[in-house]
Amino acid sequence: MIPIINDDRRAIVEMRNIAKTFGSTRALRGVDFTVMRGEVHALLGRNGAGKSTLVSTISGFTPADSGTIRVADTVVTANAQNYAAKIREGIAHVQQTPQLFNLLTVAENLFLESPKVRGRFGAVSHARTLAMTKELLHTWAIDIRADALVGELDAGTRQLLEIIKALSRGVPVMILDEPTAALSNAEKKILFEQVRALKAQGVSFVYISHHLDEIFEIADVVTILRDGQVVRAREPVAGLDVDTIADLMMGKKTLRSSREDHTRGEQPVLIRARGVRIGPRSEQTLDFEVRAGEIVALAGPVGGGKEALAMILAGQRHPAEGHIDSPRGLMPKIGLVPTDRHASGYVGLLGVRENVVIGGLDVLSNHFGFISKRAEVRHAERLAQKTHVVSSSLEQPVSQLSGGNQQKVVFARALCRDPDIVIALSPTRGVDVGAKEQLYALLRDLASQGLGVVVVSDEEDEIAQLANRVVIVFDDEVKDQLLGNYTIKDLVLRMEGVL
Amino acid sequence: MSTQMVSDSKLVNPAQGRSKWAQFGTSFVADGYTMYPVILLLVIIGSIVAPRFATTTNLINILEQISVLGLTTIGLTFVVLIGRLDLSLEGVVGFAPMFAAAALVPAVAGGFGLELPGWMGLIVALGVAGAIGWFNGFMVVKVGLNPFISTLGLLVLLRGGVLIISNGRSIYSPGKALTFLGSEKILGVPLAVFVFLAVAAVVGVIFKYHRYGRALYAIGGNEEAARAAGINVDRVIWSAFVFAALLAGLAGVMMTGRLDSAVTTQGQGIIFSAFAAAVIGGVSLGGGRGTIVGVVSGVLLIGVINNLLTLAQVPSFYVQASTGAVIIVAAVLTTIASRRSSGVKTRT
């Protein structure tokens, strides 16, 4: 193959003034982004800085609101309409979670909708599909059958397949969004070899990763985003170090409110996990306890096990080993704010009152299970006020409320049975700034009343504003702990897996 | 998800500019009163066209006719509220009283030869019904079958079962203890009507003011949210199947009482009328929405229409076809009304 000339002056991807808004969140505010031929361009930034949104606007997966995008020879002026089909020939986007068909074979997945295996009248050649798949698997040195069902494969292999599928399309630009999250070290090595080989042929990569060491290993240049804006464009990676990158990623952000410490001396332990193994992949068991009056955050990479640990504490999931108990004997009452309020938070058909009350049906009903309407209304009203729910009436269906108000209803429900511990997963996801502050104030207030508060979050700011103690969880194990006066930099570096 | 927002423009704070009338409309629909004006209209039209319609005898007759369907529909509502369905209720209506009758009567009259004492009749029938419901719940909760297929299978099985235990012959006069619910009259009004109304009242209160009812609505609206709120979702689902079957068993006993015999074809087709009545009454097949007030209106509507068409001497083939048409029209009305009033779209 004749290598495409690497020093082509014209960029392969050129984006000008890209803007994207989700509801009240301005995810991208006028971003310029350029990718040259044959380079690996790393995109860095903290959670919520706009990395994934930016690459999604390149591929058209999430159409940008405004700005211009050029990929190879196709120019698109964005106006929030779908343009993915126009640039499909120029770009492949591997997303964080594999988009594969579990009930189809490896070969069928790799060559679905591919013209290479299609004959006349749309007939698909089975033999050719299998042969081409075997060849691909051989190049990548993956030892699986071409006719194995994808659903049977482990997460790492599926992630690799997703990447192979994208790479085998022969497009000039590849987006890899957290490609190594599920890969073993050996698989990672294979991936990097392939990336280097394709790069030598002139293919360009946009690379997002939470592991800075990977960036130093594979990337040529780095662009750093913060709050939807570019803070450093096209910096050669050779001139950077971890500290500089961390500083650039964080900026001098002023906190809107700061954490308070309500742990005076030795508070009693409310609940503890003893000898718990979260999942089969963890080698060590862990011990973890929650004390009265503290806000403890569980932090770490996505899929690292922090949610699972919280759900085990909440009694919603069984650990692979070990058990949860309380030194007081009686198990404490737990109020749970689940991670995705649409999937498992509120009941959209029901009004605010009914939503709040389902959190405490046992405490609000009498011996025969009947609920006094008057007591119920009073209770729901009090909780709705405490959580600052704004609705036209207590009977308004929760599906009609704004995201922030829906989340407050979920908090009110969690508080309905007067819990001793509140476990909140992603407590302010998709919530506007005002509501965020109200929820933070609520959590601090609960801690000051002597409740134990457990927060699971991906946002460093959130953790830094709330938590007196941070427990870092990844690979289903407790890796580290931050106590008392930690800085946000300590936090970011640990959450990025650097320290 | 069975619900979604209709459009963003509709969401602009509904509190603003909401008149008393709009609020009244919302709760009128939400509480299940949508169909009552339609029924009233039909009654007025009916009394004008058919003079025999508005007589006490005829009205009581309608109530007696709908009480079996009514109990079955209330039973069905338990499972539909949690977003499931139970086709086997139709089988229970036929099987439970047949089993009880066969346990009571002597072998020469087509029984098992057990000849249980008469007072056991109702207990045996409800016991059998409860056991069938328990089995349905087990299949759905523990085995994880889709209730459509598991209860469909059971429906066919029970239909065959009726023929097996009865040897293909109906059992006549199974005894007072089994038939009094469907045949006795108090002050000229059949006991069946009182049973239906009493069950409707009790279940209505449970749905609205009991924690069990709240759990049903929560699970139907969002099962995962109900779980996260600490509701024992599996137990509620399981028990809903048991309650549904118990009510269908009671309905079957009342039917046997009215006919003074356990008939082999008893209950055939009732599950379709029950679904129709539930949907007309505003119960969402997606779960989470529906009231007993509404269910009763659906049952009443079907009863009144059938009665009117019969009185008007419409040929029976047309009765069936027009009932079907009415079901569709009523379902459209209910859906539009609930969408208009709450802005929440339901999949009926």
pLDDT digits over B40-79, tens only?
A: 998 998 888 888 888 889 999 999 989 999 999 999 999 9
Per DSSP bridges, beta strands A40-44 and A204-208 are parallel
pLDDT the model gives residue B207:
95
**What pLDDT does A204 receive?**
93
Closest alpha carbon to A338 in A407, A419, A433, A417: A407
Contact (CB<8Å) B212/A369: yes
Assess if residue A3 is contained within a domain.
no
Which residues in B lie closer than 8 A to residue A358 (C-beta atoms)?
214-215, 218, 225-226, 229, 231
pLDDT at A26: 80
Residue A43 lies in a domain: yes
Least confident of A251-260, A449-458, B196-205: A251-260
Residues A90 and A74: beta-carbon distance below 8 Å:
yes
Q: How far apart are CA B195 and CA B212, in angstroms?
A: 22
Sheet with strand A173-177: strands edge to edge: A91-94, A173-177, A204-208, A40-44, A221-226, A229-236
Distance from CA of A107 to the nearest CA of B (A): 31
The tokens describing B133, both together, are 């419901």
DSSP secondary structure code for residue B8 in this structure: G
pLDDT value, residue A8? 57
Q: How far apart are CA A191 and CA A139, in angstroms?
A: 11
Q: What is the pLDDT of residue A252?
A: 61
Q: Is the pTM of this model over 0.90?
A: no
| Beta carbons of B230 and A417 less than 8 Å apart | yes
Q: What does A381-399 look like in DSSP terms, one character per residue? A: HHHHHHTT---SSTTSBGG
Model confidence band, residue A224 (pLDDT cutoffs 50, 70, 90)? very high
Report chain A residues whose CB lies below 8 A from the CB of B214: 354, 357-358, 361, 371
Q: Which two tokens stand for residue B136?
A: 């349905």
Domain of residue A471, residue span: 269-495
Round to whole Å and give the CA distance between A105 and A148: 5
Between A69 and B108, the higher pLDDT residue: A69
What's the pLDDT score for residue A258? 73
Residues A422 and A372 in one domain: yes
Mean pLDDT of B111-116: 80
Q: Which residue has the tokens 């599920």?
A: A182
Same domain for A337 and A387: yes
Q: Which of B47, B65, B63 lies closest to B55 in space, CA to CA? A: B47
Residues of B in contact with A362 (CB under 8 A): 211, 230
**Domain positions in chain B:** 33-336
The pLDDT value given to residue A18: 92
Interface test with B, best of A316, A318, A341, A350 (most B CBs within 10 A): A350
Check whether residue A408 and residue A300 sit in a common domain.
Answer: yes
Across A233-242, B6-15, B313-322, least confident range: B6-15
Give residue B4's pLDDT: 39
Q: Cβ A336–B217 below 8 Å, yes or no?
A: no
A279 Cβ contact partners less than 8 Å away, ≥ 6 residues apart: A305, A308, A320, A476
Kindly tell me if the per-residue pLDDT of A228 is higher than 80. Answer: yes
Picking from A205, A222, A250, the residue at the C-terminal end of a domain is A250
Report the length, in residues, of chain B: 348
Q: Which of A406, A349, A347, A416 has its CA nearest to residue A381? A: A416
Beta bridge partners of A269: A291
Residue B20 predicted with pLDDT over 80: no
DSSP A37-56: TT-EEEEE--TTSSHHHHHH
- Determine contact, residues B281/B299, Cβ cutoff 8 Å: yes
> What is the interface size between A and B, counted as CB pairs within 8 Å?
101
Q: What is the pLDDT of residues A367-425, one digit of tens each?
A: 888 998 888 999 999 999 999 998 888 888 888 888 888 999 999 999 998 999 999 99
pLDDT of residue B314: 84
Tens digit of pLDDT for each residue in A149-174?
Answer: 988 887 778 888 888 888 888 888 99
Indicate whether A257 belongs to any domain: no
Asked if A396's CB is within 8 angstroms of B211's CB, the reply is: no
pLDDT of residue B6: 35
Cα separation, A429 vs A411, in Å, equals 13
Assign A370 to helix, strand or coil.
Answer: strand
> Interface pTM (ipTM) of the complex?
0.78
Let me know if residue A138 belongs to a domain.
Answer: no
Kindly state whether residue A6 falls inside one of the protein's structural domains.
Answer: no
**How many angstroms separate the CA atoms of A447 and A461, rounded?**
19
Residue A128 domain-assigned? no
What is d(CA B138, CA A246) in angstroms, rounded to the nearest whole number?
55
CATH of the domain at A385: 3.40.50.300
pLDDT at A110: 87
List CB contacts (< 8 A) between B224 and chain A: 338, 343-344
Q: Which residue of A has its CA nearest to B230?
A: A359
| Residue range B327-347, pLDDT digits in tens | 788 778 877 877 766 555 554
**Residue B121 burial by Cβ neighbours in a 10 Å radius (0-12, 13-18, 19+):** buried
Whether residue A204 is found in the same domain as residue A297: no
A183 and A242 part of one domain:
yes
Q: What is the DSSP letter of A351?
A: B
pLDDT(B2) > 50: no
pLDDT of B134 reads 97
B72 and B271 in contact (C-beta within 8 Å)?
yes
Query: Which residues is A20 bridged to in the sheet?
Result: A28
CATH architecture of B33-336: Orthogonal Bundle (1.10)
Do A226 and A347 share a domain, yes or no?
no
Q: Look up residue A259 and give its two tokens.
A: 């954490």
Question: Which of A373, A399, A416 to probe the B interface (max B CBs under 10 A)?
Answer: A399
* pLDDT, average across residues B176-192: 88
Closest CA to A51 of A171, A182, A175: A175
Q: List, for residues A248-277, the tens digit of each pLDDT value.
A: 887 765 555 677 776 666 788 899 998 898
- Whether residue B26 is predicted with pLDDT greater than 90 in this model: the reply is no
Chain A residues close to B217, C-beta within 8 Å: 347, 349-350, 354
The C-alpha atoms of residue A198 and residue A187 are separated, in whole angstroms, by: 17
Residues of B with a Cβ under 8 Å from any A Cβ are 1-5, 11, 13-15, 18, 27, 205, 209-212, 214-215, 217-218, 220-222, 224-231, 288-289, 342-344, 346
Q: How confident is the model at residue B18 (pLDDT cuts 50, 70, 90)?
A: low
Which chain A residues are within 8 Å of B12, Cβ to Cβ?
none
Residue A334 CB coordination number (10 Å): 22
Residues of chain A in contact with residue B220, where contact means CB-CB under 8 angstroms, are 349
Close Cβ partners of B283 (under 8 Å, ≥ 6 residues apart): B77, B80, B81, B289, B290, B294, B295, B298
Residue of higher predicted confidence among A106 and A4:
A106
Q: Quick check: is A142 in a domain? A: no
Note whether B224 contacts A343, CB cutoff 8 Å: yes
Mean pLDDT of chain A: 85
Place of tokens 């011990």: A287
| Nearest chain B CA: its distance from A298 CA (Å) | 19
Domain count across chain A = 2
- pLDDT one-digit tens code per residue, B232-280: 999 999 999 999 999 999 999 999 999 999 999 999 989 999 999 998 8
The SS3 call for residue A270 is strand
| Alpha-carbon distances of B210 from A359, B5, B215, rounded to whole Å | 14, 29, 9
CB contact under 8 A, A354 and B217: yes
A-chain residues near B18 (CB < 8 A): 392
Q: Which helix (H) or strand (E) holds A232?
A: strand A229-236
A348, A362, A369 ranked by CB distance to B210: nearest: A369
Phi, psi of A226 (to 5 degrees): -145, 130
B288 chain-A contacts, CB cut-off 8 A:
347, 349-350
d(CA A479, CA A236): 32
For residue B221, the distance in angstroms to the closest alpha carbon of chain A comes to 5
> Which H/E stretch holds residue A35?
strand A25-35
Exposure string over A205-216, b if 16+ CB within 10 A, otherwise e = bbbbbbbbebbb
Nearest chain B residue to A425, by CA: B228
Alpha-carbon gap: A182 to the closest alpha carbon of chain B (Å): 27
Q: Do A371 and B211 touch (CB under 8 A)?
A: yes
Residues A51 and A200 in one domain: yes
Residue B13 pLDDT class (50, 70, 90 cuts): very low
A133, part of any domain: no
Distance CA B210, CA B189 (A): 30
3-state secondary structure (DSSP) of residue A268 = coil
Label residue B11 by pLDDT band (50, 70, 90).
very low
d(CA A67, CA A77): 6
Closest residue to B11, CB basis, from A361, A393, A400: A400
Q: Are A310 and A212 within one domain?
A: no
Q: What are phi and psi of A388, to 5 degrees?
A: 60, 40
d(CA A147, CA A155): 17
Question: Chain A residues with CB inside 8 Å of B4's CB?
Answer: 399
For an interface test with A, give the residue of B18, B26, B211, B338 to mutate (most A CBs within 10 A). B211
Q: Which two tokens stand for residue A497?
A: 């897996």
User: What's the number of CA atoms in the CB half-sphere (13 Å) around residue A459?
Assistant: 18
pLDDT top residue among A356 and A84: A356
